[in-house]
Amino acid sequence: MKLRSIVKGAALAAAAAGIGVAVLRTDEGAALDRALFSAGNVDAGPATDRFFLGVTELGSLYASGAATGVLALLGKRREAVRAMTATCVTWALGQAVKKAIDRPRPYEADQGSTRFLIAPPRGTSWPSSHPAVLTTFTTVAARELGVGAAARAGLGALGLVVAASRVYVGVHYPSDVASGVLMGRAVAVVWPSRAKDATRSAPARRR
């Protein structure tokens, strides 16, 4: 693992933690978070409801498991397993942080003004595991598969859509999903790459 990757991962993790501190420990941060939540949790009509309800579970661990199975069937078992392993680490880390922080979800903190569209999920609010899980899986899988910049950008956009969906359906604040994306990215950045490992070891095998 390169020092640059470690530094970048630490910076991303620090940014995720910084967002949490800002909204959980300062009145200004909490007020901004609530205002942004109110803007993202509006009723935008039945079509928007269906869209976000349709995409929100793409960030679940089950969805990453299904994608792992598809990649394995396509002959990319090793790449899929590496991505799923990193994703499980992200999920476990997120669950541990959730228990430690124990932030109430929006519909628990302000039930009267929260537009709540899905069944109550398990766990607490900060950080959001759905965008964290999806970000780790897509980032590591894309790197292992060697996909192009356009595909990576598309996967990144998908992660942001899922993050927005968690606010729209009423189960997370914007700070939760922002920290989740950063945490998922941090794990992906520091996760060792098989492709890079193979490139570094190739000269040694030829000697």
Q: Residue ranges per domain, the chain?
A: 3-193
Rounded Cα–Cα distance for residues 105 and 125 (Å): 5
Question: Exposed/middle/buried for 157, CB within 10 Å: 0-12, 13-18, 19+?
Answer: exposed
Distance of alpha carbon 59 from alpha carbon 128, whole angstroms: 10
For 4, other C-beta atoms within 10 Å of its C-beta total 9
- The CA distance from 28 to 25, in Å, is 9
Which regions in the chain score pLDDT beneath 70? 1, 195-207
What pLDDT is recorded for position 197? Answer: 52
Cβ(41)–Cβ(114) below 8 Å: yes
The pLDDT value given to residue 111:
85
* Burial of 144 (C-beta count, 10 Å sphere; 0-12/13-18/19+): buried
pLDDT, position 178? 98
Going by the DSSP 8-state scheme, the letter that residue 42 receives in this structure is S
pTM for this prediction: 0.92
Q: Give the pLDDT confidence score for residue 88 in this predicted structure.
A: 98
User: How far apart (Å, rounded) are the C-alpha atoms in residues 97 and 24?
Assistant: 14
- Rounded CA separation 131/160 (Å): 7
Please give the single-letter amino acid code of residue 61: L
pLDDT of residue 79: 97
Q: In angstroms, what CA-CA distances link 185 with 120, 178, 181, 196, 202?
A: 26, 11, 6, 18, 28
The two structure tokens encoding residue 153:
């950008």
| CA dist list (Å): 111 to 62, 99, 106 | 28, 21, 7
